[in-house]
Structures are given as C-alpha cells and as structure tokens.
C-alpha cells in the first residue's frame, strides 16, 4: 500500500536542547491524533538518540540526514548506518542535493550508502532532482532518470519497495519558489513510470514519492492533491511546530 508521508529535514539547524524542545512540542501536538499520513523528522546525528527516547516513535519516525558509505572502521568523523539504527531511527535521508553539491556525493557513493542503509534496516528517503539550468533546458526527466539508474535501480524489487523517493527540484529548495502543482505532478508521474518500467506496476503503485522545495502550509494541499504526489520533504517549515503541523493537516 502506498503511504502518504510528511517528513521534516531539519538540516544543520537546532542545538541539542532546541531540537529536543522542537521534537517534544511536535510530539505533544500529535499525541493521540489519528493522522492521514506518516510523520518523520530528519534530525542532525547528535539529536537522534535523545529525540528517540523523548517522543513516541510510533507516531513520529526519526531519520538521519546522511550515513557513511563504509560499514565501520577507521573513517574519522563518519557515522555508520548501524550506529544510526542503534539510536532508534528507522530512516535515513540519502542523496540530498546539498550533499551532492557540497560534499561530492556521487551516484556510486550513494549506491553504497543505500545498500548499507537497507542492510541495517533503515528505510532510505532517496532524493533526486534537477538544478535550475537543467530545468531551463528541459532536461529534468533525463536528470532524475540518471539519478535513479545510478544509485537505486540496481536493487531487487523487494528492497526498492523499502525506499521512499523525494523529488526536490534544486531551484525550489530554500528559495520560496515552489514547483507548480502541474510541474510536480508531471515529473512525479514520470518518476513513477520509470519505477513501473523497471520493477513493474505494483511496485510503482506502492511507491511513495514526496515533493520537496519550499513546501509550506500555504501550498501543501494543492501539491498533495495530485495523484502522484504522496507527501512532502520539508526543510524550513519543519522547524516550527505550527507550520509543520499545518502541512500534516493538509492531508
Ligand atoms: P525547504 O523546504 O526549506 O525549501 O527545503 C526543502 C528541502 O531541501 C528538504 O529536504
């Protein structure tokens, strides 16, 4: 069954104390509510364990924002998928455009990260999306196809089924410029058609494809109404409980 999901990506924001306050406030706001979507928060590594013990992880899933491309050992400063899992997190955001752009993540490193995440029972939230120049040249389809083929189309259908996809046009991230509902639907449908070609209709039907990029309380409903938009990956608007809850309420 396809799931609707609203996931927050806190990026590099919030001290431990601030993050704990945000997570517990969100937890209180959602407690006992029956929601029409799953809710996930993607916190910095250092918050994961504390947040996991402070909130109801059945109501709010926890994601890391990255993991190492190596299993364990002499990789100073890195955090492995097994370590993330041991905090109580069940998800990991992989392939975010900021990591591709600023930390040199390639199709190959992401392929390794996805495999390690799955091996450690973490569900990857795998991000794809084009930059502005590519959109202006109408190359967005070719870009997302290469990103999928380069890092996740090697998986078995069963493993692919554990992945949440997030389409995030880079030109819409943190810019206040959102893809129009029509633009989002068009490329989400294309992404689903690629999944169907590769893994068959059932896997494609069940795939959750989130939209990310300046999604907020004002535009979430219009975006989520599209048949192939199954929720959002939310940056800035996930840092305030009222804003994030208003997006959850869009479902
Ligand atoms: P904004 O919602 O701040 O545009 O960020 C989107 C994003 O990058 C989520 O991963």
pLDDT tens by residue, 112-167: 999 999 999 999 999 999 999 999 999 999 999 999 999 999 999 999 999 999 99
Q: In angstroms, rounded to a whole number, what is the distance separating the alpha carbons of residues 184 and 25?
A: 31
CA-proximal residue: ligand 1, atom 7 (nearest): 235
Task: Return the best residue to mutate from 235, 237, 238, 239 for the ligand 1 pocket (most ligand atoms within 8 A of CB).
Answer: 235
Q: How far is the CA of 196 from the centre of ligand 1 (A)?
A: 27
236 CA to middle of ligand 1, Å? Answer: 6
Q: What values do phi and psi take at 244, rounded to 5? A: -65, -40
pLDDT at 176: 87
Per-residue pLDDT tens for 89-108? Answer: 999 999 999 999 999 999 99
Handedness of CA 75, 78, 79, 81 (dihedral sign): negative
Question: Exposed (0-12), middle (13-18) or buried (19+): which is 240, by Cβ within 10 Å?
Answer: middle
Quick check: is 134 catalytic?
Answer: no
**Any bridge partners for residue 116, and if so which?**
none
- Nearest residue (by CA) to ligand 1, atom 5, is 235
Helix (H) or strand (E) holding 66: none
pLDDT tens-digit profile of 185-194? Answer: 999 999 999 9
Question: Is pLDDT of 177 > 90?
Answer: no
Ligand 1 pocket mutation pick from 41, 215, 216, 223 by most atoms within 8 angstroms of CB: 215
Interatomic CA distance for residues 78 and 65, integer angstroms? 12
Active site residue 168: yes
Q: Which of 98, 105, 134, 168 is labelled catalytic?
A: 168
Instruction: State which of 14, 236, 237, 243 you would mutate to test the pocket of ligand 1, scoring each by most atoms of that ligand within 8 A of its C-beta.
Output: 236
Catalytic residue among 96, 98, 105, 134: 96
Does residue 134 sit in helix, strand or coil? helix
**Would you state the pLDDT for residue 246?**
98
Instruction: Give me the CATH topology for the region 5-248.
Output: TIM Barrel (3.20.20)
pLDDT in tens, 8-52: 999 999 999 999 999 999 999 999 999 999 999 999 999 999 999
Pocket of ligand 1 (CB under 6 A): 9, 96, 168, 173-174, 212-215, 233-237
198 pLDDT higher than 90 = yes
Return the exposure string of 175-201: e unless at least 16 CB atoms fall within 10 Å of the residue's CB, then b.
Answer: eeebbebebbbbbbebbbebbeebbee
Q: Where are the domains of the chain?
A: 5-248
Residue with the smallest CA separation from ligand 1 atom 1 is 235
The two three-digit tokens of residue 15, written as one number: 């001290």
């Amino acid at each position: 069954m396809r799931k609707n999901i609203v996931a927050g990506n806190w990026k590099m924001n919030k001290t431990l104390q601030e993050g704990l306050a945000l997570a517990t406030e969100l937890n209180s706001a959602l407690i006992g509510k029956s929601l029409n979507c799953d809710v996930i928060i993607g916190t910095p590594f250092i918050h994961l364990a504390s947040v996991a013990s402070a909130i109801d992880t059945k109501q709010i899933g926890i994601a890391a924002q990255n993991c190492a491309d190596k299993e364990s050992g002499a990789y100073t400063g890195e955090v492995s998928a097994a370590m993330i899992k041991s905090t109580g997190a069940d998800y990991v955001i992989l392939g975010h455009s900021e990591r591709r752009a600023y930390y040199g993540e390639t199709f190959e490193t992401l392929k390794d990260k996805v495999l390690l995440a799955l091996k450690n029972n973490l569900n990857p939230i795998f991000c794809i999306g084009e930059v502005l120049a590519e959109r202006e040249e109408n190359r967005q389809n070719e870009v997302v196809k290469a990103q999928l083929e380069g890092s996740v189309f090697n998986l078995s259908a069963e493993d692919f089924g554990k992945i949440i996809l997030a389409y995030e046009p880079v030109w819409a991230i943190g810019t206040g410029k959102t893809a129009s509902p029509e633009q989002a639907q068009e490329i989400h449908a294309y992404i689903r058609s690629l999944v169907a070609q590769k893994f068959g209709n059932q896997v494609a039907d069940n795939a959750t494809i989130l939209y990310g990029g300046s999604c907020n309380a004002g535009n979430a409903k219009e975006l989520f109404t599209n048949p192939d938009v199954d929720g959002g990956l939310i940056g800035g608007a996930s840092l305030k409980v009222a804003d994030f809850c208003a997006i959850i309420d869009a479902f």
